[in-house]
Chain A
Amino acid sequence: MPMSTPLLAMRNIDKRFMGAHALAAATLEVEPAEVMGLVGQNGAGKSTLIKVLTGAHRKDSGEIVFAGETVEFASPLAAQHGGISTIYQEINLIPFRSVAENIFLGREFRRYGLLDWRRMNRDAAELLRRFAVEIDVRRPLMEFSTAIQQMVAIARAVSFKARLVIMDEPTSSLDEREVAVLFDVIRQLRAEGVSVIFITHRLDELYQICDRVTVMRDGRTVMTSRMADVDKLHLIAAMLGRDLEAVRERATGFQGTSAAAGGEVLAAEGLAVGRKVRDARIEVRAGQIVGLAGLLGSGRTEVARAIFGADPPDAGAIRLMGKAAAPTEPVDAIALGVGFCSEDRKVEGIVPDMSVRENITLALLPRLTRFGVVDEARQRAIVDRFIARLAIKTADIEQKVRELSGGNQQKVLLARWLCTDPKLLILDEPTRGIDVGAKVEIQSLIKELADQGLGVLMISSELEEIVEGADRVFVLSDGRTVADLPHAKSTAPAIMAAMAHDLGAISADGSDHG
């Protein structure tokens, strides 16, 4: 790649929030037609840097040069008109309006003072076709999958004649096939001379799609390198600021062998829920971590919600703690000793305006009351104990939970369930979107809890988490349990083959499946 003048050069960017450095002399350079990865732990300053670039935040000092000119955008909208478009994690388009409307929102074509629908629909369809997306652009956006919605967001960005597209964790809600399509789109953009800043937590993706990577830590830029010149371990070391040996020792928090499994805490057979789950089977014993693997859309979350009573199943039998159970509301399952951490921390987990204390005791509270009045002293003692036990970083127990980092929010949610002393804990993507340090902490905590006799059902999209963490793995494909692998046989190739519903490949791999 010609190292001529960069398209974007952010130099010595400083930004303080109430005295604390969010960015300290941070730097970011992007060449024309380059895909630049941007990684770092939560709180490393990635989002702040992007927000300074797009005008959502003001920088305190430093210089931003874009396309040869010093710029300081007043707002994300101004940045968009200046050629920088951002696609956020949560797609911020209008679900009820049509695809075409969303693409042309704010600059609709007009004809004789009326909206020129025909032209908008035609242009929108053409735009999407460039990315190999063939859909009816007159349908409301919400009828399409997240992946398609993301393509629409990208098409909208491109239609703004963007020269730089920023993607903030675009793959977090896509399955592998959709990720592949997204990567094709990114390559297409690059071929057309558009640069991309790609923020992700998944290191594999960096190697697949990025030309270079910038690593941030504590508000500083600590490394910029071509992808070809750096291996994963060095990347992790740069993000964590630890030395290599330390990183190698603790790849995940799941270490050591597990104790013998105890009695059955969950057995589900022939579960069917809606269209997504057809015939799922699952079994968890006390002291066991059971992994539930499968591609996105394979029905993992739906199975978990059915067991928890959040969306009761249409068919099938569930046994909890050895007894037949048919929870129709979460409160039924909770009464039997089940806890459930949803994959969507913000939407279904935390109550953002409530304090850490109130969030932790939300599920336990009915047991902490006498005649409906909360026993404040006991509450306080329990909250203090779990904050210490899980090492939750919070200014004090009255701090609002929305002010905590993602990892600490997740710990608060774990504490919410652990303080109810559950026998079965269902964890849906327990480490998604959490920085590497907190991730390892949470993984070792799960392991520790299982060693103490808790039955854990863990859903994860990260293969290594399942491979290293689970004592037994159930693989779902298209709503059916297609494999039941003991720890020894749950290798990455075996799980992937099962996900692809290709049982022949498992035997070919050397592991004889039942």
Chain B
Amino acid sequence: MADAQADVRAKSPLNPANFLRRYAALSAIVVLLAFNFAVTPNFATWQTLNVNLTQVATIVIVSVGMTLVIATGGIDLSVGSLMAISGALAPLIFLSPFGRAHLAVGNLLAFVVPVAVAGLLGLFNGWFITRFRVQPIVATLVLFIAGRGIGQVITNGNLQTFKNPSFQFIGLGRVFGVPCQVLVMLALVAAAAWILRRTLFGRQVLAVGGNEKAARLAGVPVAPVKRLVYAISGLCAGVAGLVVVSINSSSDANLVGLGMELDAIAAVAVGGTPFTGGRATVVGSLLGALLIQLLRYTLLANGVPDAAALVVKGGIIAGAVWSQQRSMPS
């Protein structure tokens, strides 16, 4: 049959144009790296690498959860606010009389409780969306607005400063010279990529995003899958919140995770995950975040002001969308 032949041909080896489109973010990173090695002073140092990776880690951690959410055809605007809540809770716990009296237990709880709370709030997002069939952008807007308020209420709007090296290891510590949050980031990316590729849950996420009605008729538990995805997004945001307050040695519910939802969404978009759902690449989101970070660094290191860098960032997103559209079948 004619169409069968055409299909075979479509699968044939990549031509350069297809390759560029498919690996657009990776190619751009390579080009930028080459440019920096040639032009930017002191680029080829461990310090530069660590600075960049440290700055990008929280965005990547959040965008791991965001990628899963977007894979179901949804979106999660509440991640920045959940970071603020998680970041506000941790110091409250280890600075409390109980936390001071039992350092180890206090620190453990300061990790577990904030992340769990963020996860539960994510679960609330999912419940809201599935129970009342609210559009995700509206449902998560609730916590986007209220979440930061909650964070300020539980801290009375105070800035909490602290010095707690064992807790702050997650933001300041190093393992074999690699910043701890970079390892957390890589672990989460690897785990999510594996889940999407190899597990029942991953397949169900993509099926729900690819065709929700068909998924339901094939026995996929659509609502539980969605709820879990938003819960995971909340957990990721919770971890990211801990990283941010650790780096800052302070927690300000007003500022932690501010604008993070958009950075994460941008990373997912640049990484090549379509917003219609059904397809997702966590590694792509990692590359997307790296690309945005590297570009910003390149501009700043070469004396271009941050304001201009923002414009370029917008340009990249537009470019990513363009390359996705081009690669869509007609």
Q: Do A and B bind each other?
A: yes
B203 lies within 8 A of A352 (CB): no
> Given A351-B211, A353-B279, A374-B203, A362–B6 Cβ distance below 8 Å?
no
In the complex, which range does the number of interface residues on chain A fall in?
A: 35 or more
Q: Is A21 an interface residue (CB 8 A)?
A: yes
Measured between alpha carbons, how far is A399 from B206 in the docked complex, in Å? 16
Closest to A23 in B: B2
Q: Which residues of chain B are near A507, meaning CB under 8 Å? A: none
Q: Which residues of chain B are near A33, meaning CB under 8 Å? A: none
Closest to A17 in B: B6
Question: Secondary structure at chain B's binding surface: helix, strand, loop or mixed?
Answer: helix
B210 lies within 8 A of A353 (CB): yes
A393 lies within 8 A of B4 (CB): yes
> Given A374-B203, A396-B11, A349–B214 Cβ distance below 8 Å?
yes
B5, B11, B199, B207: which contacts A369 (Cβ < 8 A)?
B199
Q: Is A1 an interface residue (CB 8 A)?
A: no
A54 shortest CB reach to chain B, Å:
15
Within 8 A of B (CB), among A1-55: 17-22, 43, 45
B198 lies within 8 A of A310 (CB): no
Q: Is B215 an interface residue (CB 8 A)?
A: yes
Measured between alpha carbons, how far is A374 from B221 in the docked complex, in Å? 17
B3 lies within 8 A of A405 (CB): yes
B246 shortest CB reach to chain A, Å:
32
Measured between alpha carbons, how far is A235 from B221 in the docked complex, in Å? 47
B200 lies within 8 A of A374 (CB): yes
B218 lies within 8 A of A330 (CB): yes
Q: Which residues of chain A are near B8, meaning CB under 8 Å? A: 395
Q: Which residues of chain B are near A373, meaning CB under 8 Å? A: 198-200
B7, B201, B211, B218: which contacts A363 (Cβ < 8 A)?
B218
In the complex, which range does the number of interface residues on chain B fall in?
A: 20 to 34
Q: Which residues of chain A are near B131, meaning CB under 8 Å? A: none
Closest to B213 in A: A348
Q: Is B31 an interface residue (CB 8 A)?
A: no
Counting chain B CB atoms within 10 Å of each CB, the highest count among A334, A351, A362 belongs to A351
Measured between alpha carbons, how far is A374 from B214 in the docked complex, in Å? 20
A22, A329, A350, A396: which contacts B214 (Cβ < 8 A)?
A350
Q: Is B10 an interface residue (CB 8 A)?
A: yes
B213 lies within 8 A of A347 (CB): yes
B3, B9, B215: which contacts A351 (Cβ < 8 A)?
B215
B201, B204, B217: which contacts A310 (Cβ < 8 A)?
B217
Within 8 A of B (CB), among A372-401: 372-374, 376, 393-396, 399
B198 lies within 8 A of A399 (CB): no
Q: Which residues of chain A are near B214, meaning CB under 8 Å? A: 342, 347-351, 362
**Residue interface mask B4-48, A partner, CB < 8 A = 1:** 111111110000000000000000000000000000000000000
B9 lies within 8 A of A365 (CB): no
Q: Which residues of chain B are near A281, meaning CB under 8 Å? A: none
B203 lies within 8 A of A358 (CB): yes
Measured between alpha carbons, how far is A261 from B11 in the docked complex, in Å? 46
Q: Is A291 an interface residue (CB 8 A)?
A: no
B199 lies within 8 A of A363 (CB): no
Q: Which residues of chain B are near A73, meaning CB under 8 Å? A: none
B9 lies within 8 A of A19 (CB): yes
B11 lies within 8 A of A399 (CB): yes
Q: Is B307 an interface residue (CB 8 A)?
A: no
Closest to A399 in B: B7
Within 8 A of A (CB), among B243-265: none
B213 lies within 8 A of A340 (CB): no
B182 shortest CB reach to chain A, Å:
27
Measured between alpha carbons, how far is A484 from B9 in the docked complex, in Å? 51
Measured between alpha carbons, how far is A308 from B219 in the docked complex, in Å? 10
A43 shortest CB reach to chain B, Å:
5
Measured between alpha carbons, how far is A403 from B7 in the docked complex, in Å? 7
A94 shortest CB reach to chain B, Å:
19
Q: Which residues of chain B are near A347, meaning CB under 8 Å? A: 211, 213-214
Q: How many CB-defined contacts (below 8 Å) exist between A and B?
A: 116
Q: Which residues of chain A are near B10, meaning CB under 8 Å? A: 18, 403
B22 shortest CB reach to chain A, Å:
14
Q: Which residues of chain A are near B5, meaning CB under 8 Å? A: 19-20
A352 lies within 8 A of B211 (CB): yes
B35 shortest CB reach to chain A, Å:
35
Q: Is B133 an interface residue (CB 8 A)?
A: no
Measured between alpha carbons, how far is A340 from B218 in the docked complex, in Å? 8
Q: Which residues of chain A are near B206, meaning CB under 8 Å? A: 351, 353-354, 358
Q: Is B102 an interface residue (CB 8 A)?
A: no
A353 lies within 8 A of B2 (CB): no
Measured between alpha carbons, how far is A393 from B6 in the docked complex, in Å? 12
A330 shortest CB reach to chain B, Å:
5
Measured between alpha carbons, how far is A396 from B4 in the docked complex, in Å? 11
A350 lies within 8 A of B211 (CB): yes
Closest to A363 in B: B218
Q: Is B326 an interface residue (CB 8 A)?
A: no
Measured between alpha carbons, how far is A365 from B214 in the docked complex, in Å? 14
Measured between alpha carbons, how far is A405 from B7 in the docked complex, in Å? 10
B210 lies within 8 A of A43 (CB): no
Counting chain A CB atoms within 10 Å of each CB, the highest count among B7, B206, B213 belongs to B7
A21 shortest CB reach to chain B, Å:
6
Measured between alpha carbons, how far is A369 from B217 in the docked complex, in Å? 20
A366 lies within 8 A of B219 (CB): yes
**Residue interface mask B187-216, A partner, CB < 8 A = 1:** 000000000001111011011001101111
Closest to B3 in A: A43
A331 lies within 8 A of B221 (CB): yes
Q: Is A201 an interface residue (CB 8 A)?
A: no
A330 lies within 8 A of B2 (CB): no
Measured between alpha carbons, how far is A514 from B6 in the docked complex, in Å? 55
B11 lies within 8 A of A395 (CB): yes
Q: Is B136 an interface residue (CB 8 A)?
A: no
B257 shortest CB reach to chain A, Å:
30
Q: Is B278 an interface residue (CB 8 A)?
A: yes
Q: Is A469 an interface residue (CB 8 A)?
A: no
Q: Is A218 an interface residue (CB 8 A)?
A: yes
Q: Is A312 an interface residue (CB 8 A)?
A: no
A354 lies within 8 A of B278 (CB): yes
Q: Which residues of chain B are near A17, meaning CB under 8 Å? A: 6
Measured between alpha carbons, how far is A374 from B204 in the docked complex, in Å? 12
Q: Is B175 an interface residue (CB 8 A)?
A: no
Measured between alpha carbons, how far is A18 from B203 in the docked complex, in Å? 31
A354 lies within 8 A of B2 (CB): no
Measured between alpha carbons, how far is A348 from B220 in the docked complex, in Å? 13
B222 shortest CB reach to chain A, Å:
9
Measured between alpha carbons, how far is A416 from B219 in the docked complex, in Å? 11
Q: Is A219 an interface residue (CB 8 A)?
A: yes
**Residue interface mask B265-293, A partner, CB < 8 A = 1:** 00000000000001100000000000000
> Given A331-B219, A351-B211, A363-B219, A21–B2 Cβ distance below 8 Å?
yes
7 contacts between A and B (CB under 8 A): A19-B9, A20-B6, A310-B217, A347-B213, A358-B206, A366-B219, A369-B200
Residues of A within 8 A of B (CB): 17-22, 43, 45, 218-219, 308, 310, 329-331, 334-335, 340, 342, 347-354, 358, 362-363, 365-366, 369, 372-374, 376, 393-396, 399, 402-405, 416
Q: 9 new A-B pairs (CB below 8 Å) besides A347-B211, A349-B214, A352-B210?
A: A43-B2, A330-B219, A331-B219, A342-B217, A348-B213, A348-B214, A350-B211, A374-B200, A404-B7
Q: Which 8 A-B pairs have the closest CB atoms?
A: A351-B210, A331-B219, A334-B219, A20-B5, A363-B218, A362-B218, A18-B9, A351-B211
Residues of B within 8 A of A (CB): 1-11, 198-201, 203-204, 206-207, 210-211, 213-221, 278-279, 329
